[in-house]
Amino acid sequence: MISQPFERPRLGWPTRCSLAALAIGLVVVLLVARWLEPDVRGFGTHTQLGLPPCAFATVTGHPCPTCGMTTSFAWFVRGRFHPSWRANPAGSLLAPACMVLIPWLVACVVWGRPLGFRSLEPPLIGLVVATVALSLFSWTLRMFLGRVL
């Protein structure tokens, strides 16, 4: 039996368009984060977009898993990593992940293949699971230890 070299299947146009939209969406998120003025409290930056304060925090008096995420991104894109970490440790790790993900998404669109993977499902599912796990872990630390560092 002769082994055939593995060839990744080509991505269809709907998938490529979705990946392009995701890349554009991430660029917009980072640009908006740069446009916003980070709230010095470490949370609440999102209210500059006309959004209400966190309902979870208002009702319980405790931050939700994503409290401080917008502020964390806003500090990160300014190169202020310590305030980014203090606002939301998960956000300070997700912001650079977005920066790395953008060129990978664009490359997948251009080459029409899931670069480095046999299919798109494992890396995209992994990113979602990692994002949720990181947010919940960070939230748990903040609930028990208060602000980290």
Sketch the domain layout of the chain as residue ranges: 14-40+62-145
Average pLDDT over all residues of the chain: 88
What's the pLDDT at 114? 85
What's the pLDDT at 138? 85
Across the 149 residues of the chain, what is the mean pLDDT of every consecutive 10-residue run? 63 90 96 94 89 89 86 96 91 93 94 84 88 88 68
Q: pTM of the entire structure?
A: 0.81
User: What is the DSSP annotation of the chain?
Assistant: -PPPPP-PPPPPHHHHHHHHHHHHHHHHHHHHHHHSPPPTTSS-GGGGGTPPPPHHHHHHSS--TTTTHHHHHHHHTTT-HHHHHHH-HHHHHHHHHHHHHHHHHHHHHHHTS-TTSSSSHHHHHHHHHHHHHHHHHHHHHHHHHSS--
What's the pLDDT at 26? 96
